[in-house]
Amino acid sequence: MALDQLIGIDDLVEKVRAYNPRTDGPLIRAAYDYGGQMHEGQYRQSGEPYFTHPVAVASILAEMRLDDQTIVTALLHDTIEDTKSTYAEVSERFGDQIAEMVDGVTKLTNLQLSSSEAKQAENFRKLFMAMSKDLRVILVKLADRLHNMRTIKAMRAEKQVQKARETMDIYAPLAGRMGMQWMRDELEDLGFSVLNPEGRNSIMRRFITLQKETGDAIEQIMVDIKAELRKAGIRAEAMGRAKKPYSIWRKMQEKELSFARLSDIYGFRVLVDREEDCYRVLGAVHQRWRAVPGRFKDYISQPKTNGYRSIHTTVSGRDGKRVEIQIRTRQMHDVAESGVAAHWSYRDGERSENPFAVDPSKWVTTLTERLVTADSHDEFLEHVKLEMYADQVFCFTPRGDVVKLPRGATPLDYAYAIHTRIGDSCVGAKVDHMRVPLWTRVKNGQMIEIITADGQRPQATWLDIVITGRAKASIRRSLREEDRERYVKLGSELARVAFDHVGKRATDKALATAARQLGLPDGQELLARLGSAEVSAREVVRLLYPSLATSNGDEIDAARAVVGLAKGQGFERAQCCQPVPGERIVGISYRGMGVLVHAIECEALEELEEESSRWVDLHWHSGPHPAVHTVSLDLTISNDSGVLGRICTLIGEQHANISDLLFVDRKPDFFRLIVDVDLRDAEHLHTVMLALEAESDVASIGRHRDLGRKP
């Protein structure tokens, strides 16, 4: 592999001056000298001096015609992380704003965006926080990743695969979401060449074969397009290219087509001076060639949120080959090439006043406004991926208003996009006046009408139908409200047990007082929070009775955990129901064995209903119990690498010990196992089960009841 050639400072400054004559040459030279000095003696894995990398990143950003501060940040972006340089020194030499940007790039470099889901979600939050502070930090990071991908062959094979996958999953979609389609295309193609080199080579070989068979198809089609534009008297510039190998591969996979059957492998652009000329070009193209139904998009009248404007149409061109043509003005083309970065770019020596460039702060707000509604790591990550991968479709309300939705959206997504109330009460939908199922995928230009009914509530199955973050969040919120009654009931029982431990009663007044201290509206809300494990019952007791909570801090002797036994009488917990402190219990006396303690609802007690003389009235001793009460949990988990380890870690994080583990069933896609866990009380059991239930790899969880294990 050829080593990178270090771009000289004079060449770099001239490159910037070509689009920005007022550039601060001395500032860029100072950053170049400082960066070179800091990285002196450092080398890349390919063997070239390390400083070739920051200079190459700065050159990529100069090609995007970005401002001086971004160029300087690129030259310095690895100094704080990889050299003896400090934030304070960079700030002193180059100013606070550049130091902030360099520090921001350093923090982004340290984010493990392809880590575990919980950590990945938190790191994505940090990514979007950096974007909201200064979007140029992300531009530098994207250029950094682009150069690393261009020189990836110098890395170890396993490192190449890791970087390529991260690029395909995160950085390429982010570049596309920011409107820099050229960068997305190149990042995807570079990642594709690492992850599936044979697939990419096969596409290239077929291109060469096709070119031999048909000649230069691009040049032939260009001649046809230019002839039509001249005939219509339209001043325009036309250009054509073959689509990137990865773009073709993805289309082959999505449509399950062979290369021979794939028709629109060429793309063409027509650039004009005025917006009205775009529609004149469209008319000329459609007069000459037959338009392909369903392949027309007008992003001029309905621009994308990142400022992208263009008309897309696909026609049957020469020899029946499908040809995609994009029509836009030159100003629109600048934004199409630069995306959100167009806000900072220069043209003809002046900061670009492109009317189509979006305000980056407004764009970030639009991108993140629905992410803040996420209640969990999983929801946030789901929203981020939906936002980053979204490709929009436009549909109409019965009144003719336009609603933007991501590709793959359903009428149910549309209903929630209109209003949460409409979505919650939806019972059906009509598309273009025809009744359709709620899981129908919406297409461009369709008119959607939602049928509602009083009393209708969201169904859990709707979560599998909708794809937008807003709809999913609204449905989950509604389902939680329906669960509220169950949570309140469970919270009442947890509160009763916790208050009993300190000899108090969980009265309405006590609960209302605790709720007020916790900033909650009333006692009912507190009970709901207790039942959903958002608030601990012990925390409530400590809040109201701190002295009692402290004085009762010594753990109860497990041998004296039950109250109501005769003097010298021993007890055992029944293994069929495995009662724990906090649950209502009853004892059954056995000659020579003492008393067997059952949960009051244990089915085994039905056999003993006629033997009332053996029943003993018992209750648990008040106070904290040690974690020695074993409960068997019946778990079904995914048969996947690392899942069992994560489950064991999760139980340990709840301060519970696994005393035994038995595999009951093993299948290719799941395991069923019985896990014995040592617990303190009912609240501890609830906490462990809730944590496991929330784990995505746990398909089901319940207490294992074995009526054959009575003693």
The pLDDT of residue 3 is 46
DSSP symbol at 526: H
Of the candidates 24, 48, 68, 82, the residue annotated as catalytic is 82
683 is known as an active-site residue: no
Does residue 266 sit in the same domain as residue 338? yes
Does residue 577 sit in the same domain as residue 523? no
**610 or 389: which leads in pLDDT:** 610
Residue 551, pLDDT > 50, answer: no
The pLDDT of residue 1 is 35
Cβ 381 vs Cβ 397: under 8 Å: no
Which residue, of 351, 377, 402, is where some domain finishes? 351
Three-state secondary structure readout of 118-147: HHHHHHHHHHHHHHHHCCHHHHHHHHHHHH
The pLDDT of residue 84 is 92
Does residue 583 sit in the same domain as residue 652? no
Does residue 160 sit in the same domain as residue 265? no
Of the candidates 81, 89, 169, 224, the residue annotated as catalytic is 81
**635 or 304: which leads in pLDDT:** 635
Which residue, of 304, 332, 351, is where some domain finishes? 351
Q: Residue 660 belongs to what domain range?
A: 629-703
The pLDDT of residue 187 is 94
The answer to whether residue 344 sits within a structural domain is yes
Cβ 518 vs Cβ 475: under 8 Å: no
Q: What is the pLDDT of residues 520-542, one digit of tens each?
A: 889 988 988 887 777 778 788 88
Q: What is the mean pLDDT of the chain?
A: 82
Span of 152-161, 545-554, 611-620, 693-702 with lowest mean pLDDT: 545-554
Contact partners, residue 596, CB within 8 Å, separation at least 6: 571, 572, 573, 574, 587, 588, 589, 590, 710, 711
The answer to whether residue 367 sits within a structural domain is no
- Kind and range of the H or E run holding 594: strand 594-599
Stretch 228-250: mean pLDDT: 85
Does residue 581 sit in the same domain as residue 505? no
Residue 390, pLDDT > 60, answer: no
Q: What is the pLDDT of residues 326-367, one digit of tens each?
A: 999 988 888 888 777 776 666 655 555 666 666 666 666 655
The answer to whether residue 14 sits within a structural domain is yes
The pLDDT of residue 327 is 95
Does residue 516 sit in the same domain as residue 573? no
Residue 68 pLDDT class (50, 70, 90 cuts): very high
Span of 189-193, 369-373, 594-598 with lowest mean pLDDT: 369-373
4 is known as an active-site residue: no
The answer to whether residue 365 sits within a structural domain is no
CB environment 198-236: b (16+ within 10 A), e (fewer)? ebbeebeebbeeeeeeeeebbeebbebbeebbeebebeb
Stretch 49-76: mean pLDDT: 93
The pLDDT of residue 358 is 65
Does residue 607 sit in the same domain as residue 674? no
The answer to whether residue 265 sits within a structural domain is yes
The answer to whether residue 399 sits within a structural domain is no
Does residue 138 sit in the same domain as residue 222? no
The pLDDT of residue 384 is 56
Q: What is the pLDDT of residues 250-292, one digit of tens each?
A: 767 655 555 545 556 778 899 999 999 999 999 999 988 888 8
**How many domains does the chain fold into?**
5
The pLDDT of residue 560 is 82
Does residue 483 sit in the same domain as residue 539? yes
Stretch 643-661: mean pLDDT: 85
Which residue, of 333, 351, 369, is where some domain finishes? 351
Cβ 456 vs Cβ 412: under 8 Å: no
- Distance CA(255)–CA(141), nearest Å, equals 33
**CATH number for position 153:** 1.10.3210.10
Residue 180, pLDDT > 80, answer: yes
Stretch 428-455: mean pLDDT: 88
**CATH number for position 661:** 3.30.70.260
Stretch 431-450: mean pLDDT: 87
Residue 552 pLDDT class (50, 70, 90 cuts): very low
Does residue 211 sit in the same domain as residue 345? yes
How many percent of the chain have pLDDT more than 70?
83
The answer to whether residue 401 sits within a structural domain is no
Residue 94, pLDDT > 90, answer: yes
**Three-class secondary structure of residue 493 per DSSP:** helix
Does residue 495 sit in the same domain as residue 591? no
Residue 490, pLDDT > 90, answer: no
Does residue 669 sit in the same domain as residue 639? yes
- Kind and range of the H or E run holding 211: helix 197-214
Q: What is the pTM of this model?
A: 0.54
The answer to whether residue 384 sits within a structural domain is no
**30 or 380: which leads in pLDDT:** 30
The pLDDT of residue 2 is 41
